[in-house]
């Protein structure tokens, strides 16, 4: 394993001093160190991975130095346009180093949503003519790899990808970020109250991450089949658009999107599309803990946003916020009574149960059960 501090120092020695990206579980130790050790002028957590590439491009324009962009390989799709249409050597020619967590690496057990992405990872990069290398897990080799990657990016005037396998980075020698609770309820308690106020014949689309895992376990604990819950286990940021498609396709069905703050920010333009189409049967609940919870607790930019006002400015017909568990029931009643699209922001504290499991259904089984329950199979 390699120390995140030595890795950052190796990049610094090559003139790469600025970091931007979207936190990733395989890069959790690196992200924790960067968040704790680098001043704000040297680190920006982006809304999505494409934003991060654009920020890195702007950094190069402003300083003449390449930046480091960190992300999970599932976010490569968000980077393709700005890499190939902006940073590519045949366009603007901008060097940068992409540090990519290799989820779904062949031969390494992982969740189903990562398998295909991991399997095609290197062939995708080859097909896009993006140079790549695999970061070694020993200090000396890693330093040589970093030096070669930066040199290659600068010589080719194009991005270079460093693929990072599971377990490469050791625990950082820094204090972890302290969660900010502010007296808010847990997400699981808030979620339990929210789904208790949703009619049994409604259709639900839940966002990727811990929320969908909690929803699945709440259904199991209640003895419910959860067939009308679509658990969006991948595709962060797209749950609201999936919910819009369901709502437009089934206008007589109440459709609920259960979302997270990081996911909302990642593809926030969906709010304007929902507001423009204005489906009366769509309601949107955003569980906001202000952080990327499962990958180190790095803050999202949600603190700068009045989420209900944002939704209303995009054409939502109702928007409100609640900070306490006891207020959720009344807020849900107001949301149900108002014409959609409507949005409720629920402030919750970071964290989840340590023994939280994962859905036992495969994504394909979940899709089939959902469509059968809606009568669309």
Q: What is the pLDDT of residues 142-169, one digit of tens each?
A: 999 999 999 999 999 999 999 999 999 9
Stretch 216-228: mean pLDDT: 94
Q: For residue 86, what are its two tokens?
A: 């902006």
Q: What is the pLDDT of residue 59?
A: 98
Specify the long-range contacts of residues 355-359, CB closer than 8 Å, at least 24 apart: 356/210, 356/213, 356/214, 356/217, 357/213, 357/216, 357/217, 358/111, 358/213, 358/216, 359/212, 359/213, 359/216, 359/231, 359/233
Q: For residue 213, what are its two tokens?
A: 């895992």
Residue with the two structure tokens 């390699």: 2
C-alpha to C-alpha distance for 282 and 205, rounded to whole angstroms: 11
Q: Name the percent of the chain lying above pLDDT 90.
A: 81
Per-domain boundaries in the chain? 4-164, 187-374
- Percent of residues in the chain assigned helix, strand, coil, to nearest 5: 45, 20, 35
Q: What is the pLDDT of residue 301?
A: 86
The CA-atom distances, in angstroms, between 85 and each of 50, 57, 120, 142 are 11, 12, 21, 30
Q: What is the pLDDT of residue 111?
A: 84
pLDDT band at 118 (very low <50, low <70, confident <90, very high): confident
pLDDT band at 179 (very low <50, low <70, confident <90, very high): low
Of the two residues 129 and 296, the one the predictor is more confident about is 129
CATH code, 187-374? 3.40.50.970
Stretch 86-99: mean pLDDT: 97
Q: What is the pLDDT of residue 357?
A: 84
Using the predicted structure, report yes or no on whether residue 213 has a pLDDT greater than 80: yes
pLDDT band at 234 (very low <50, low <70, confident <90, very high): confident
Mean pLDDT of the chain: 93
Using the predicted structure, report yes or no on whether residue 349 has a pLDDT greater than 80: yes
Q: 4 near 170, Cβ under 8 Å?
A: yes
Rounded to 5 degrees, what are φ and ψ at 301?
A: -85, 15
Q: How many residues does the chain have?
A: 377
Using the predicted structure, report yes or no on whether residue 295 has a pLDDT greater than 80: no
Q: For residue 47, what are its two tokens?
A: 């809304």
Least confident of 97-101, 198-202, 348-352: 348-352
Q: What is the pLDDT of residue 359?
A: 85
Q: For residue 73, what are its two tokens?
A: 């390989």
Pairing of strands 159-164, 291-292: unpaired
Q: For residue 111, what are its two tokens?
A: 């969740």
Q: Calculate the dihedral angle through the C-alpha atoms of 253, 244, 249, 208, rounding to the nearest 10 degrees.
A: -80
Which superfamily does CATH assign the domain made up of 4-164 to? Answer: Thiamin diphosphate (ThDP)-binding fold, Pyr/PP domains (3.40.50.970)
Is the pTM value of this prediction over 0.85?
A: yes
Say if 4-164 and 187-374 have the same CATH topology.
yes
pLDDT band at 38 (very low <50, low <70, confident <90, very high): very high
pLDDT band at 292 (very low <50, low <70, confident <90, very high): confident
Q: 319 near 341, Cβ under 8 Å?
A: no
Using the predicted structure, report yes or no on whether residue 294 has a pLDDT greater than 80: no
Using the predicted structure, report yes or no on whether residue 296 has a pLDDT greater than 70: no
Least confident of 249-258, 325-334, 344-353: 344-353
Q: What is the pLDDT of residue 192?
A: 97
Give the full edge-to-edge strand order of the sheet including 342-347. 229-231, 203-206, 255-260, 282-288, 342-347, 318-322
Q: 344 near 286, Cβ under 8 Å?
A: yes
Residue 27 makes CB contacts below 8 A (sequence gap 6+) with 70, 72, 99, 101, 164, 169, 295
Task: Give the DSSP H/E element, type plus range, for residue 111.
Answer: none
Pairing of strands 229-231, 282-288: unpaired
Q: What is the pLDDT of residue 173?
A: 84
Q: For residue 247, what are its two tokens?
A: 């709502």
Check residue 226 and give left, alpha or beta (phi > 0: left; psi -120 to 50: alpha): left
Q: What is the pLDDT of residue 358?
A: 87
């Amino acid at each position: 394993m390699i120390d995140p501090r030595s890795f950052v120092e190796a990049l610094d020695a090559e003139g790469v001093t600025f970091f931007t990206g979207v936190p990733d579980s395989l890069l959790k130790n690196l992200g924790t160190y960067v968040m704790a050790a680098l001043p704000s002028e040297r680190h920006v957590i982006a809304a999505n991975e494409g934003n991060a590439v654009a920020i890195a491009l702007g950094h190069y324009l402003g300083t003449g130095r390449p930046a480091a962009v960190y992300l999970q390989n599932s976010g490569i799709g968000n980077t393709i346009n700005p890499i190939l249409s902006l940073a590519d050597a045949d366009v603007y020619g901008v060097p940068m180093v992409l540090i990519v967590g290799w989820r779904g690496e062949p031969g390494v057990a992982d969740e189903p949503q990562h398998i295909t992405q991991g399997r095609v990872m290197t062939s995708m990069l080859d097909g896009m003519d993006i140079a790549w290398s695999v970061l070694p897990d020993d200090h000396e080799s890693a330093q040589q790899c970093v030096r070669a990657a930066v040199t290659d990016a600068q010589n080719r005037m194009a991005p270079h990808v460093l693929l990072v396998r599971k377990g490469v980075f050791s625990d950082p020698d820094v204090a972890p970020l302290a969660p900010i609770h502010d007296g808010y309820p847990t997400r699981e308690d808030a979620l339990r109250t929210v789904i208790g106020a949703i009619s049994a014949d409604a259709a639900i689309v839940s966002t990727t991450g811990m929320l969908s895992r909690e929803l699945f376990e709440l259904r199991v604990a209640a003895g419910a089949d959860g067939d009308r819950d679509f658990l969006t286990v991948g595709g962060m940021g797209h749950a609201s658009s999936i919910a819009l498609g369901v709502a437009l396709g089934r206008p007589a069905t109440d459709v609920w999107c259960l979302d997270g703050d990081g996911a909302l920010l990642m593809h926030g333009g969906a709010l304007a599309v929902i507001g423009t189409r204005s489906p009366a049967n769509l309601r949107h609940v955003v569980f906001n803990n202000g952080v990327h919870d499962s990958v180190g607790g790095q803050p999202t930019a949600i603190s700068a946003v009045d989420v209900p006002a944002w939704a209303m400015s995009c054409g939502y017909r109702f928007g409100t916020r609640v900070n306490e568990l006891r207020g959720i029931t009344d807020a849900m009643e107001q949301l149900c009574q108002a014409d959609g699209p409507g949005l409720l922001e629920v402030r919750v504290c970071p964290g989840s149960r340590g023994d939280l499991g994962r859905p036992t259904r495969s994504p394909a089984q979940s899709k089939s059960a959902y469509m059968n329950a809606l009568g669309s199979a």
